[in-house]
Structure 1
């Protein structure tokens, strides 16, 4: 009796990035928050590489490869002396450039010993790092998040570290069809918003969604802090895949019938920054910034708790998906539909960037 052969996944006619696509390294990623890095040695894994972070006596952030070149002792387990890191095993001393400048057992420092030192830019609240080809680390390419450090905006935020890949994270943030389903209990979306007109466009390496929903009740995450419960508003929003490292969304809520001293418009900026820890694990920082009721601490608490709960739902969903993918020996077959277009554009962009980078790496190895 003939046995049916195992079903083989169909080859995608329009290939997209997935959890197996090589990580893009030629990009400014968030290494950490400015508040995290000080006069101590902080270890973190970024894009599969263990690094050590600290500040010089002058306050400049430094990021070095965490592995001592002598016997692979983690430099984060050593100590700071002035601006230099001293390995806790044999005492090799590394300057902020990564150059070894001293070794107790040798009269002269070994000039050929130099650990990788990564380009760093600090723009509060972030410390950005470039883990790829240093010749491509143009200073003008750091994403603009200036509202996070401006007094006319009030910002709350948090972070997660979890098991997923950054391709899935980007698609999740561009996928607004899940808002009223996955986040039904946390009040992120409404059925009317999901069905509203959607304008999707690609601009270079960016993917942008524009939506407008008029004369409709806002979801609780907007209605409660804006004190517009039970009233209709005009809602204009966009969501942007800015780079492999960051996603930014803006919302403008128009109060159709202001009462007393109520504002006519309310604005919210939502910032999602994430850096692969490894191929399928992620550092994730989120921020909600508003231009209204800046001194109301109850609103701070509500926004923090409601958004943290919603993003926890995303974290759980993406972790469950990744756990299933981890059990698959090869590529999986996925169905896509019309509303998936933003995520598809993003995944195609990520694949194109990854393939171009891999091509450059392969060329250098010839």
Structure 2
């Protein structure tokens, strides 16, 4: 499936963000994850639970049931399944049918996020999670804003490629990001490690704009600013970076934009955005500004990739794809994703 050349659209041995931690409580929540309805709730002690969301008896959605203690009772014929997924009771008989257990998904609650493992349970290693504390969430030395979840009618790879080429800021976000007109002009370098790939743009001697002035009221002169796009896996891309005084080179602070991407299906995705900064922690104006900008910026990205998705679904004859030098990072990420998916297939 475009833009990948593998049959499986996404890797499954992977952590993804399933929900904000605040979304989970004693009320049942259903969310499609990699094409599967998943049921979420918390036990009476507060532990998060994720189970397959369809009753194996007659395919009734379990979100239409209710909790009995820490167990879920199907709203159709009353089958009861424990928080471990096992069938505990069938009202119409004494015994339990064979192979009646629900799939239980491993979860980790970290950085006020609920992470779900969608592959083989034995491989669900929390050490494979991105180091989110280093970039904001869960770190007491950072301020973090959680933006409303958006569900987007487009394949997740389109959003990954959108975020890896920030030259689009100059055009898609021409009126919403102060100073964004300069982004396309900034030279690009690429750095890679085993766990990440970063498309780096380091703007030099940029004039103060209203956003920078609000963030750093004492700043008088031009700044250096990083416009990085760091691929930390298909689940997370960090954009932003350090802002420094251009005269002294002294760092003023770091502003990160964290884009958590979770496929709902091959052509639909859940989009969680956090803004994180290590300055102005007690400044409510900065939090309000970040949320306000998000409500204007995010819909522009969503419109762009949903428009591309509609073209891909239209059946139109597409031109042969071309790429610019700036696309090197995105093309390398395509290969990384394909290698990850192929490695799973070979191990199966």
TM surpasses 0.5: yes
* Structure 1, unaligned runs of 5 or more: 1-14, 362-366
Match of 1:272 in 2: 259
Match of 1:303 in 2: 290
Write out per-residue CA displacement over residues 64-121 of structure 1, whole angstroms, 9 at most, x where no aligned residue. 0011111111111111011111111111110111110111111122353111111111
Match of 1:144 in 2: 131
In the superposition, relative to structure 1, how do residues 41 and 192 fare at CA in structure 2: closer, same or farther (>3 Å)?
closer
Listed as ranges, the matches of 1:215-364 within 5 Å are 215-217=205-207, 220-227=210-217, 231-256=221-246, 265-328=252-315, 333-361=320-348
Of 93-102 and 349-358, deviating more is 349-358
* Structure 2, unaligned runs of 5 or more: none
Q: Secondary structure at the match of 1:254?
A: strand
Match of 2:185 in 1: 195
Aligned length: 343
Q: Secondary structure at the match of 1:143?
A: coil
In the superposition, relative to structure 1, how do residues 38 and 330 fare at CA in structure 2: closer, same or farther (>3 Å)?
farther
In the superposition, relative to structure 1, how do residues 18 and 195 fare at CA in structure 2: closer, same or farther (>3 Å)?
farther
CA distance in 1, matches of 2:32, 2:18: 9
Q: Shift of the alpha carbon at 1:156?
A: 1.8
Match of 1:7 in 2: none
Q: Shift of the alpha carbon at 1:138?
A: 1.4
Contact 1:57 1:83 in 2 (8 A): yes
Q: Shift of the alpha carbon at 1:189?
A: 4.9
Q: Shift of the alpha carbon at 1:31?
A: 0.8
CA distance in 2, matches of 1:221, 1:111: 61
- Higher-Rg structure is 1
Q: Shift of the alpha carbon at 1:354?
A: 2.0
Match of 1:135 in 2: 122
Match of 1:86 in 2: 73
Of 235-244 and 65-74, deviating more is 235-244
CA distance in 2, matches of 1:212, 1:134: 41
Q: Shift of the alpha carbon at 1:329?
A: 6.9
Normalising by structure 2, we get a TM-score of 0.91
Q: Shift of the alpha carbon at 1:210?
A: 2.3
Write out per-residue CA displacement over residues 325-357 of structure 1, whole angstroms, 9 at most, x where no aligned residue. 111278763110111111111112112222332
CA distance in 2, matches of 1:18, 1:265: 43
Contact 1:188 1:310 in 2 (8 A): no
